[in-house]
Amino acid sequence: MEHVKGEKFDLINKSDSKDKVIDISDNEINERYLKGEIRIVTEQARYPLDTISKMLESGKYNLNPEYQRRKRWSVEQKSRLIESLIINVPIPPVFLYEVSFAEYEVMDGLQRLTAISEFYNDKYELKGLEQWASLNGRIYSKLPKKVREGIDRRYLSSVVLLNETAKTSVEADFLKQIVFERLNSGGDKLTAQETRNALHGGKFNNFCIELSRNDNFRNLWNYPLIIVDDNDNSKILNEKELLETESYRKMEDVELVLRFFAYRHLDELSNSGSQEKFLDNFLSQANSFSEITLNELRLIFEKTMDITFKVFGKSAFYMPDASNKKSTPTKTIYDSLMQSISKILDKEELIILNAKKIRDNKFKEKEKLIIKDKKKNNQLFDGKYNSKNNVIDRIKYFDNYLKEMIK
């Protein structure tokens, strides 16, 4: 299979506008301001807590727009919110975007909304309360009457970004991303991939999320398998179990898929460039890939994963000295081995035929695992060394190794 790289784009020279000084006059700035450029139109609302469940079930509220991160609140966190409501501690407002009249996306506050809705539907027992420890173990319907009535009197405030904020869908996406980024600049800090998911959501981002469900991929990384509804692939049946896994909550699985595709363009990363910026720029531009390119890339990813699992099993991405039960797969091996295998997919029969030899001798040529420099000899697969050149050297090692094993 051809080593398809996808459509051409400029990854590294993409300018960073926040570092620019734009030289325009005060009059021009004033005129731009008066025109309402990059200005958000809002209104405020308040929702009684006992109406939130029906509100969310109405179909008028999109709880999972592309820029939302995976739900991360534990039962303890949900319970602390309920305790705050009992005590009457002020709760920050949720932020909604009016997609069309009376239809909304939840931009910020998903955790609060779902925690309240689930509590009113008796979905979890209160846990870890401190000020009201006597209520631990209670569901909403089993709370003392006066406590229930007290909660029912509370309201959750919202700030709604109105539909007229943006003139086009492109402008709307841009403004939503700005708001989401500013709202999440503090507090529970987003991971790099959660931020990408928010600011560069689109076709390729969804593509990476979809491929992160691949069974071979998840087995190779010791991740729980994702079980989807046969009638609705967007519905995950074991999401509760998955949310107990930190890697899933933080979208580390999705970032690994993104890395596989981005590293196919490693030659376009400058030696001094930031890896995070490299991934950001790749994702942003890959969102414009055609369906033809995506289908080609899907086949490459799935076939590479299939061959890797058949040859190496779950030890594929382990370090050379991984010998104890605490060993885990590493990006150091993943990034390089996956690239090398993806280049020789047309040699699948030879690879499988020589699987045992390939697996048993992966790191035996010790002299080839040394990077020689003026200061000291460094191990090629030492996770401390992850510059562009280090990764290229590791890819070359596996390129040569696999070529030797299947000749």
Q: What are phi and psi of 391, to 5 degrees?
A: -65, -40
- Structure token pair of residue 257: 């898929």
Query: Which pLDDT tens digits describe the chain residue by residue (407 residues)?
Result: 434 555 544 444 444 444 555 667 777 767 765 565 556 677 888 999 999 999 999 988 887 766 666 767 889 999 999 999 999 998 889 888 888 777 888 878 888 999 999 999 999 999 999 999 999 999 999 999 999 999 999 999 988 877 766 566 666 666 666 676 666 655 556 788 887 887 777 899 999 999 999 999 999 999 999 998 888 777 788 887 887 888 898 899 999 999 999 999 988 777 666 888 899 889 989 999 999 999 999 999 999 999 999 999 999 999 877 666 667 899 999 999 999 999 999 999 999 999 999 998 887 665 555 554 444 445 787 777 778 888 898 999 999 999 999 98
Helix or strand (DSSP H, E) at 232: strand 232-236
Q: Give the CA-trace dihedral at 307, 308, 313, 318, to 10 degrees.
A: 170
In this structure, are residues 265 and 282 in contact, taking their beta carbons and an 8 Å threshold?
yes
d(CA 278, CA 262): 8
CA-to-CA separations, 118 to 54, 108, 364, in angstroms, rounded: 11, 17, 55
What pLDDT score does 11 carry? 47
Alpha helices in 6-135 (DSSP H): 26-34, 52-57, 75-87, 110-120
d(CA 298, CA 305): 11
What pLDDT score does 165 carry? 61
d(CA 49, CA 342): 53
Vertex 178, ends 174 and 180: CA angle to 5°? 115
What pLDDT score does 197 carry? 81
Half-sphere exposure for 187 (CA within 13 Å, toward CB): 10
Helix or strand (DSSP H, E) at 334: helix 331-342
Residue 135 is classified by DSSP as: G
Domain definitions of the chain by residue range = 39-187
What pLDDT score does 35 carry? 61
What pLDDT score does 381 carry? 77
What pLDDT score does 311 carry? 95
What pLDDT score does 370 carry? 54
What pLDDT score does 361 carry? 84
d(CA 220, CA 133): 43
Nearest to 203 by CA among 101, 291, 281: 291
Model pTM?
Answer: 0.67
What pLDDT score does 303 carry? 98
Give the bridge partners for 159, in sequence order. Answer: 44, 95
